[in-house]
Amino acid sequence: MNTKLLKLFIGTIVFLLTISCKVAPEAIEYGKDQCSFCKMNIVDQTHSAQFVTAKGKQFKFDAIECMVNYLDENIEEKIAISLVADYANPGEMTEAEIATYLITPAIKSPMGANLSAFSAKNTAEEFQEKHSGEIFTWELLKQKLSDK
């Protein structure tokens, strides 16, 4: 009887540890959450960003440039998920690595980099045609922002 109880106890502990280490992004609470880089409140649904480490730790940002700058300065942990707001669909997030980025003075971002992300490259190109600017991939964007 003690062995059954011990197995049940160990099974419960393993189960609880498994679900507590879930690596998934938490929704950004606009107006409540603070930027992990600049400490400003996150209010803009068109420019926010976030990443989750492999251990499940959440980092949220009021602007994409804040996330890029944070990553440039803090590279200790392995990132499991990184997301950026889709400018064309406020409140929706897309994977940072596959998004297309547009820097144009016609679209202001919270920290002044005039940087917006788009889940579809053709949408970014349409905004570029309308507002001018320069298009970047994730890797080229990180390189451009780290060169400053």
**Mean pLDDT score across all residues of the chain:** 89
Poorest-confidence range of 26-35, 49-58, 66-75, 81-90? Answer: 66-75
Q: Please, are residues 75 and 101 in contact by the beta-carbon 8 Å criterion?
A: no
Query: In the predicted model, is pLDDT for residue 126 greater than 80?
Result: yes
Cβ neighbour number for residue 58 with a 10 Å cutoff: 16
Domain ranges of the chain: 30-146
**Helix (H, G, I), strand (E, B), or coil: what is residue 94?**
strand
Tens of pLDDT, residue by residue over 100-110, are 999 999 999 99
At 65, the amino acid letter reads E
Mean pLDDT of 65-70: 94
Q: Looking at residue 111, what is its pLDDT?
A: 92
Q: Looking at residue 23, what is its pLDDT?
A: 80
Tens of pLDDT, residue by residue over 19-60, are 555 788 899 999 999 999 999 999 999 999 999 998 899 999
d(CA 69, CA 66): 5
Alpha-carbon separation of residue 88 from 76, 85, 120, 126 (angstroms): 32, 9, 9, 11
